[in-house]
Amino acid sequence: MPDRGIGLCNAMLGGYLRNERYVETLDLYRRVMSSGVGIDSFTCTFVLKACTGLSDVESGRGIVRDAVENGLSDDRFFGSSAISFLMKFGNVDEARIVFEGLSCRDAVCWNSMIGGYVSVGSFDMAFDMFLKMRGSGIRQTTVTVVSLIQACEGMESLELGKCIHCCVYRLGMGYDISVMTSLVDLYGKLSEIGSARKTFNEMPIRNLVSWNAMISGYVQNGFVFEAFELFHRLIVSGSVFDSATMVILLRGSSQIAALENGKVLHGCILRRGFESSVIVSTAIVDLYAKCGALSLASSIFSRMKVRNVVSWTAMLMGLAQNGHAEEALNLFCKMQLEGISANAVTLISLVHACAHLGSLKKGKSVHAHLTRFGYALNEIVRTSLVDMYSKCGKIDSARRVFDSDSVSRDVVLWNSLIAGYGVHGHGHKAIGVYNEMKEKGIMPNETTFISILSACSHSGLVEEGRNLFHAMTGDHGIMPREKHYACLVDLLGRAGQLEEAQVLIGQMPFEPGNSVLEALLSGCRTHKNIEMGIKTADRLLSLDSMNPGIYVVLSNIYAQGGKWSEVDYVRGLMRKRGLKKIPGYSLIEIGKWVHTFFAGDDSHPYWEEISQMLFNLRKQLKASGYVPDTSWVLRDVDEKMKVELLWCHSERLAMAFGIICTQPGSLIRITKNLRVCGDCHTVTKYISKIVKREIIVRDANRFHWFIDGTCSCGDYW
């Protein structure tokens, strides 16, 4: 075409823009500028939208300068577009200059400024601009009100939100779907679910966004069944749901681990063809993983054509939280091979997996990733790292992470360090951290006292524990809950003060639950109080007859008293009710791999070498004066068989393997899922002296650090 004026150029720019061909839009604009054709406000608006699509801030700022140079600084249409663009990319001051340069400002310009301030989190400035808008005589529109409602959400101000709600009715906007939906969303996010439902019911017209906002409000506030009831109403009303509805309901099902509900939703998703959405598929993976259905989660994950970091993280978290920590770490390696960059949530999940495995090397590697990506000073990350190093036996490293930034320490981080010192048996250090925390002005919470009482329990600090229990109410106004009583009962039970523990339970202001009675039962087993143990087990079984752990402890108590017929009866009950004892296993990290050993398991590739090492150790232990304590074998067999069964315990297999596969003098770390038995504890003390090794064993209760024939627990655990 020989004659191409600005109208024709704008038509072409608009065509490129509508087809999201942003690069061509920008190229054509540059050709227009070089040809000398004068530009107008439409030209600049089209190209600013293309720059937004490309996230090209510098080009956009250049276009704003071009517009000013071409005399468009006072054009309201251009002004609102420029303000929106500059605000979107955080250039608040430049946007304000453009706004102030407009001699005539309509509602669109004001709304651009108000919405821009909201988008960058300057909520006070948004309301200040709104007051100036009213003062200038410009009538606010529904867009203005929606921006102000979003500002109330950002400020978490329910009262201000209610004021805006009143204004909505005075302005006659109660009919507007976008305004009323924004109010429903606001009330839901500020946990005012009754007001959200009332507003929803008052809406004369609703669209799917309105329904989704109300359903989401229910889910966010834990009313998952109400969310499903509302979804049913949506279906009955003849409305069509979308993928966003499904994602909201899947998240609700995840909260309550409602696997069957999730399967129904999955069926709806398949029928509507939503499974191709990465957001929907990720929500399905997350649901199945949180419900423990890992095979289903893995199947969906493997079929996903597109997987982003959120998808990988959902699968990783599912594996880690269901005890498959090693598989989670292997999946992380695959994620890296596919070039997916991990985020903070991914790495925190891996930190928890390393803590579960007791894998220090992998934990350090994840810590390096966190540092490299700038996440290491985040409080949530630091808390997970403190927990990981504590559970991997490196309490000094946990303290260094804690000390890495003395400015930002919340109560959760302090609690994590107290708990770490507790499981390592450093009760006095835990109390020291508690006192330091109070001196810094950090108020202890309920979890603090659970951690500190547990620390006292592991260190036998009975008097200190009693004083802290009373200080919780007297000094801090925190009423003891069942977990606090359970910690104190455990403290007294470990110390052999079972009668006092029983009196304490009788004085509780509520009926004792499982955790309190289990603590007493554990004390009865430790101190062989068979009569009290049987009575306590009976009370526990009346509360939870399907808990296999209770049957196991009761069986052990009968076995300690030589009541083998009762042992057979209890084990028969377990079989009849389909209950199984949790198998004991031990983990040891050698090189890049974590090896798992079960009691009596001879399937390991190095079994012959392990068997020979155990044979040699037995001879050396016998020569050193070791005598097997067969009372820890709770089976009705002869003494010779009891000795053989002791030498099949998983921690001994792991220890022998560790001695074979590591350099002389190097430290051996073992993680066991159950409590170490007394004879294994004695054996490990002897072995640490014979092989001249430091051996760290983390069992279900605490850490044991064996050095030259002694243990850090002082034989108190």
Is pLDDT above 90 for 695? Answer: yes
Using CA atoms, how far residue 378 sits from 374, 397, 404, 413, 551, in Å, is 9, 17, 11, 11, 43
Is pLDDT above 80 for 288? Answer: yes
Q: pLDDT averaged over the chain?
A: 90
Percent of the chain with pLDDT over 90: 56
Is pLDDT above 90 for 685? Answer: yes
Which pLDDT band holds residue 269 (cuts at 50, 70, 90)? very high
Where in the chain do CATH 1.25.40 domains reside?
Answer: 481-581
Q: Which of 672, 581, 594 is nearest to 635 (CA)?
A: 581
Higher pLDDT, 326 or 474: 474
- Counts of helices then strands in the chain (DSSP H, E): 38, 6
Which pLDDT band holds residue 490 (cuts at 50, 70, 90)? very high
Residue 493 pLDDT: 93
Which pLDDT band holds residue 406 (cuts at 50, 70, 90)? low
Residue 131, exposed/middle/buried by CB under 10 A (0-12, 13-18, 19+)?
A: exposed
Longest distance between any two alpha carbons in the chain, whole Å: 107
**Of 68-77, 392-401, 454-463, 610-619, the least confident:** 68-77
> Residue type at 2?
P
Is pLDDT above 90 for 118? Answer: yes
Contacts of residue 281, defined as CB under 8 A and 6 or more positions apart, other chains included, come to 275, 300, 301, 304, 311
Residue 178, exposed/middle/buried by CB under 10 A (0-12, 13-18, 19+)?
A: middle
The answer to whether domain 481-581 has CATH 1.25.40 is yes
- Name the CA radius of gyration of the chain, rounded: 33
Is pLDDT above 90 for 203? Answer: yes
Rounded mean pLDDT, 387-414: 88
DSSP state, 190?
Answer: T
Is pLDDT above 70 for 407? Answer: no
Residue 180 pLDDT: 96
Is pLDDT above 90 for 65? Answer: no
Q: Which of 147, 176, 1, 168 is nearest to 87 (CA)?
A: 147
Q: What is the pTM of this model?
A: 0.70
Rounded mean pLDDT, 230-259: 92
Q: Which of 587, 582, 584, 583 is nearest to 358 (CA)?
A: 587
Q: What is the pLDDT of residues 76-111, one digit of tens each?
A: 788 888 888 888 888 888 889 888 888 788 898 899
Residue 598 pLDDT: 93
Rounded mean pLDDT, 409-428: 93
Q: What is the pLDDT of residues 634-660, one digit of tens each?
A: 788 888 998 999 999 999 999 999 999
Rounded mean pLDDT, 46-71: 85
